[in-house]
Structure 1
């Protein structure tokens, strides 16, 4: 047997994602590179690790056993690295955080100083939709999650990082209605939504429902960036988090439309399971957040207060 650690890492990711394409994306590799690593590993076994039926990839029972062994091997390698750092008196370990997609504008600023100071810690940050974030937290797959609304049905503890404001926005050429006529304007203007399950989508739908507004035309896009570009292009208007609009507002490519009962105000909140037994890395990060969050907010997000 001449399989490599890299082959095992690639195969484990394939079994987790059930897809060559998704595995390649998460590993930041090309699809052919992932396929080659899978083939090289498979060539060392007489029993199939995977099979493709139609266009769907399935992991065989034997493949699942190899994946479990691969995960144990990889974890032991990580442990060797962590023990090396610990022996040298350096804080080490893996810090796992799941972040709702718009949170990518927030959390890096609350991580950079900590990671630069603690070079022995390995960061694993998954940026995805709210449903997957909550599921990863429920399944105890991560240390922390960053959300704009704290989920119900899960016992969590929390630390508020930053105010989150959502405004009605349009492109620079839109004719802005009088505040009193905003409801009529929204009823006759294409509205751009995030995907189902998004906290932004939920907030937007709740606002429209409370105002008795029924959209005649809807566009649904799967990321904050896609919605932003659609608004800039004039495809419609949307209710969006301010945090991702700083550059566009400064350059005038997007404008805020004044509307009654807006902005919607929530909080960017770091949450973790109430019963979570934290690793040394997670414990250190939480202590860092509690001590430094006000400074970080003042240095990087004071502009929010002007809106």
Structure 2
């Protein structure tokens, strides 16, 4: 046996994705490169690890056993690396975050300095909707989450970061051509919504329902970026967080429409379970946020106060 750690990582990705193409995408490798690694790995075993039936890739029972062992090997390799860094006086280990989708415009700025100072940290951030973030917190899958509305059903610690303002917006060309009362924007639509489970959608629906402004034309999009592009293209109007549309506003692709009761104001918060025992890395991250929060906001988010 002469397999490499890289081959183990590639094989695990193939097992999890059940596709060479998807594994290649996840690993940022070409499909031929992944196929070669799989072949070289397979050549070291007399029993098939995978099989192709009807153009679909299946992992054999033996392949599943090898994958389980490979995962344990890689965990031990991680521990060796972390222990090495720890003896060198460096923070080492894993830091896991779950972030609501619009939070991707916020969280990187509060992470970059910390990660650059502690290069031995293995970091992962899942960008998803609020419901999935709550699930990650409930299942204790993560160290921290970034949300704009605190989940009420959980006992959490939190650090407020900056305000989150949601405005009524439309594509500039469509707004300039619009006629009639502003209420018609909602009732005649089309109104563009995020998917169910999104905090932005919940805030938007609450605002509309309280004012009885329900539209007969509703379009749903499953990411903030897709929603932004649809608004810019003139497909319809939406209520969107300011943090994600800065460049579109500056480029005059999108226009804020003043409307009574808007903007909706919430606040971005780093949250974690009160009963969670924080790792040294997690504790160091909280200390970093507390110490550097003001300068990060001043450097990267002072423009928010201009609206």
TM-score between both structures, scaled by the size of structure 2: 0.88
Change (3 A) 1:49 1:101: farther
Q: In the TM superposition, what is the alpha-carbon distance from 1:176 to its structure 2 partner?
A: 6.3
Tell me the residue number matched to 2:109. 109
Change (3 A) 1:229 1:81: same
**What is the SS of the residue equivalent to 2:182?**
helix
Tell me the residue number matched to 2:295. 295
RMSD: 2.6
Q: In the TM superposition, what is the alpha-carbon distance from 1:192 to its structure 2 partner?
A: 1.5
Tell me the residue number matched to 1:76. 76
Change (3 A) 1:119 1:266: same
Q: In the TM superposition, what is the alpha-carbon distance from 1:4 to its structure 2 partner?
A: 1.8
Q: In the TM superposition, what is the alpha-carbon distance from 1:35 to its structure 2 partner?
A: 4.1
Q: In the TM superposition, what is the alpha-carbon distance from 1:181 to its structure 2 partner?
A: 3.2
**What is the SS of the residue equivalent to 1:181?**
coil
Tell me the residue number matched to 1:285. 285
Tell me the residue number matched to 1:168. 168
Q: In the TM superposition, what is the alpha-carbon distance from 1:136 to its structure 2 partner?
A: 2.7
Q: How big is each residue's C-alpha offset from its partner over 1:86-125, in whole Å with a ceiling of 9 and x where there is no partner?
A: 1111222221112222111101110111112122222222
Q: Give yes or no for the alignment of 1:242 onto 2:247.
A: no
Q: Is the 8 A contact 1:194 1:220 kept in 2?
A: yes
Change (3 A) 1:86 1:45: same
Change (3 A) 1:232 1:60: same
Change (3 A) 1:51 1:239: farther
Q: In the TM superposition, what is the alpha-carbon distance from 1:47 to its structure 2 partner?
A: 4.5
Tell me the residue number matched to 1:87. 87
Q: How big is each residue's C-alpha offset from its partner over 1:32-87, in whole Å with a ceiling of 9 and x where there is no partner?
A: 44444344434444445456677776555444433332222112111111122111
Could you tell me how far apart the structure 2 residues matched to 1:222 and 1:106 are?
Answer: 19
Q: Is the 8 A contact 2:110 2:289 kept in 1?
A: yes
Could you tell me how far apart the structure 2 residues matched to 1:19 and 1:211 are?
Answer: 49
Q: Structure 2 regions of 5+ residues with no counterpart?
A: none
Q: Structure 1 regions of 5+ residues with no counterpart?
A: none
Could you tell me how far apart the structure 2 residues matched to 1:227 and 1:94 are?
Answer: 33
Could you tell me how far apart the structure 1 residues matched to 2:54 and 2:152 are?
Answer: 39
Could you tell me how far apart the structure 2 residues matched to 1:138 and 1:288 are?
Answer: 25
Change (3 A) 1:47 1:274: farther
Tell me the residue number matched to 2:231. 231
Could you tell me how far apart the structure 2 residues matched to 1:89 and 1:213 are?
Answer: 59
TM-score between both structures, scaled by the size of structure 1: 0.88
Could you tell me how far apart the structure 1 residues matched to 2:154 and 2:31 are?
Answer: 37
Tell me the residue number matched to 1:253. 253
Change (3 A) 1:74 1:211: same
Tell me the residue number matched to 1:199. 199
Q: Give yes or no for the alignment of 1:214 onto 2:217.
A: no
Q: Is the 8 A contact 2:185 2:237 kept in 1?
A: no
Change (3 A) 1:274 1:49: farther
Tell me the residue number matched to 2:304. 304
Task: State the number of aligned residues.
Answer: 306
**More displaced stretch, 251-260 vs 5-14:** 5-14
Change (3 A) 1:57 1:192: farther
Q: Is the 8 A contact 1:183 1:211 kept in 2?
A: no
Q: Give yes or no for the alignment of 1:6 onto 2:30.
A: no
Change (3 A) 1:68 1:171: same
